Every structure is written in C-alpha cells, then in structure tokens.
Amino acid sequence: MARRRLQVFYEGRVQGVGFRYTARRTAAGFEVTGIIRNLADGRVELIAEGEREELIEFQQAIRDAGLSAHIRNEKENWTDTKDEFKGFEIVG
C-alpha cells in the first residue's frame, strides 16, 4: 500500500490540556511519523505520514485517548507523502 500524508487542524480547547503530549504518546503505538504543534490562533496542527488505514486508526486513537472532549472541530487534508519525518515529534 502507498503511504499518505494526513494534516489535521484541531479546534476547541486543544492548547494547555496536554493534547500534543498525548498525541505523541499515542503515536508510539502506530507506524506513523510526523509532527504536532500549537498554532498562534489557538489550534493544534498534526501532520502525520503512514499507510492510510494506520493514519485513520491513529486519528481515532487520539480521540479515544480522552482528547475528544476538547476537540470542537477537525479539518483534515490528505496528500502524497513527502517522507520528511524520522519519528513523531512535538515541534511547537
């Protein structure tokens, strides 16, 4: 299967609640690489690469890790992978 790139913008009360750290910890259980960061407008941006089904399961696992209560909206974009990540990191 082809690898894909998933970009998600999370809106809601997603900063100051451990969102990035929970997502990074969750990523350890999946075959994904990428980054997660806070944005100046209060959103959190996730960029992850991996097999499409793995990314879908990872995205659901983030919600299931107790973060769904903080998410008001998710905007996702699927594109071709750029193979630029070595692991999964918090970058901002």
- Identify the pLDDT of residue 44: 97
Cβ contact 8:30 at 8 Å: no
Q: Catalytic: which of 20, 24, 25, 73? A: 20
Q: Sheet with 44-51: list strands edge to edge.
A: 71-80, 3-12, 44-51, 33-38, 88-90
- Identify the pLDDT of residue 2: 86
Question: At 10, which helix (H) or strand (E)?
Answer: strand 3-12
Per-residue pLDDT of the chain (92 residues; tens, 9 = 90+): 789 999 999 999 999 999 999 999 999 999 999 999 999 999 999 999 999 999 999 999 999 998 899 999 999 999 999 999 999 999 97
Class of domain 3-90: alpha beta
pTM exceeds 0.75 for this model: yes
- d(Cα 78, Cα 47) in Å, to the nearest integer? 10
Check if 77 is active-site. Answer: no
> Which are the contacts of 60, defined by CB distance < 8 A and separation ≥ 6?
none
Q: Catalytic: which of 3, 37, 38, 63? A: 38
Check if 20 is active-site. Answer: yes
- Identify the pLDDT of residue 92: 79
